[in-house]
């Protein structure tokens, strides 16, 4: 029986708007990211009785160490943050994409998820590794709720499977994270310099993919070793141990189905790149048992966040 290539979308498709833009300002407007945000000090009303009477008066108190970030176009609260938080407007954050556009790239997606992740993706080229063709994307993220930092992520994706090699961006050459603190403005200046040298980061990603395409897994023992790294058994109470173990085993089985049966991964069986392809295929496309509103946005947020598990797996597969 002939295996039919699986058609998959990039993880950000469905979480925002897709298109083709060569202007940051046009993309901001069309993707609904062109709104300004202002910080307000929230207060609460406290009823206080007047001594020796039945009368009470209302006293307003500022909520300590708290600010509400509000869209000035809709008056919607988009985040509640601490005194240490500083706003970086979307217009400033996504202007960092300009060097990519100047070099011939184009913005292909953007938007804001229900979880507050503002993102924009630009495609800036493709390259070959072994028998695989990959597209290089630059993703910039921002938020106003303190959950997501301003980040610049270089993300190669497979042209067929569209896997997002998020873990490959966990070193300083491929990702820059700017927390919304007092030094945010200065770090944005640093980010502009980084974007002007984006090719250095692309070469670093290419090298790690090249290593994983040459590195082989010689036995089922090695496969099981990587499975334990990818889907570790967490520490839980004795009461939850059996249920948790069954859940982890079920995840591993679903992953192995992708690893062995995805036709667009057959050429990489036995190689670390094949495991990497299947892993990012799994985490970026697997449908959970529970259904959520805006699941695409939730999934994209988890991929962007990364994890220690993913970092450990990538290091094992690409070094």
Classify residue 40: in a domain, yes or no. Answer: no
Domain hosting 271: range is 216-318
Find the range with the poorest average confidence among 78-87, 196-205, 242-251: 196-205
Classify residue 83: in a domain, yes or no. Answer: no
Find the range with the poorest average confidence among 53-67, 97-111, 127-141: 127-141
Find the range with the poorest average confidence among 158-172, 203-217, 221-235, 300-314: 158-172
- Regarding whether 267 and 204 lie in a shared domain, the answer is no
- Regarding whether 237 and 270 lie in a shared domain, the answer is yes
- Which residue, of 162, 181, 212, is where some domain finishes? 212
Classify residue 303: in a domain, yes or no. Answer: yes
pLDDT of residue 4: 42
- Which residue, of 212, 232, 261, is where some domain finishes? 212
- Regarding whether 164 and 21 lie in a shared domain, the answer is yes
- Regarding whether 255 and 171 lie in a shared domain, the answer is no
Please give the tally of structural domains in the chain: 2
Choice between 202 and 228, residue whose per-residue pLDDT is larger: 228
- Regarding whether 278 and 180 lie in a shared domain, the answer is no
Find the range with the poorest average confidence among 107-121, 128-142, 151-165: 151-165
CA 171 to chain centre: 15
Single pTM value for the model: 0.70
High-pLDDT (> 70) share of the chain, %: 72
- Regarding whether 159 and 285 lie in a shared domain, the answer is no
- Which residue, of 155, 188, 212, is where some domain finishes? 212
- Regarding whether 242 and 303 lie in a shared domain, the answer is yes
């Amino acid at each position: 029986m002939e295996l039919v290539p699986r058609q998959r979308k990039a993880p950000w498709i469905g979480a925002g708007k897709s298109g083709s833009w060569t202007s940051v300002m046009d993309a901001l407007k069309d993707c609904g990211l062109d709104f300004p945000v202002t910080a307000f000090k929230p207060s609460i009303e406290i009823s206080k009785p007047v001594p020796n009477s039945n009368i009470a008066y209302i006293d307003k108190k500022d909520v300590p160490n708290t600010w509400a970030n509000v869209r000035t176009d809709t008056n919607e609260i988009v985040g509640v943050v601490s005194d240490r938080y500083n706003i970086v407007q979307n217009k400033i954050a996504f202007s960092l994409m300009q060097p990519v556009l100047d070099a011939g790239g184009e913005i292909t997606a953007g938007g804001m998820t229900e979880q507050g992740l503002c993102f924009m993706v630009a495609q800036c080229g493709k390259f070959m590794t072994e028998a695989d063709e990959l597209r290089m994307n630059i993703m910039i993220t921002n938020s106003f709720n303190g959950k997501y930092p301003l980040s610049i992520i270089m993300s190669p994706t497979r042209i067929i499977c569209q896997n997002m090699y998020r873990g490959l961006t966990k070193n300083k050459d491929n990702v820059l994270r700017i927390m919304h603190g007092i030094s945010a403005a200065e770090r944005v200046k640093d980010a502009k310099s980084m974007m002007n040298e984006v090719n250095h980061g692309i070469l670093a990603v290419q090298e790690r993919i090249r290593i994983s395409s040459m590195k082989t897994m010689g036995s089922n023992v090695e496969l099981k070793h990587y499975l334990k790294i990818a889907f570790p058994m967490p520490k839980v109470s004795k009461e939850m141990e059996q249920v948790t173990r069954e859940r982890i085993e079920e995840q591993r089985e679903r992953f192995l189905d992708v690893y062995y049966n995805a036709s667009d991964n057959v050429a990489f069986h036995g190689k670390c790149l094949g495991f990497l392809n299947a892993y990012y295929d799994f985490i970026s496309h697997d449908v959970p048992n529970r259904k959520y509103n805006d699941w695409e946005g939730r999934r994209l947020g988890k991929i962007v966040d990364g994890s220690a598990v993913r970092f450990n797996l990538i290091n094992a597969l690409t070094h």
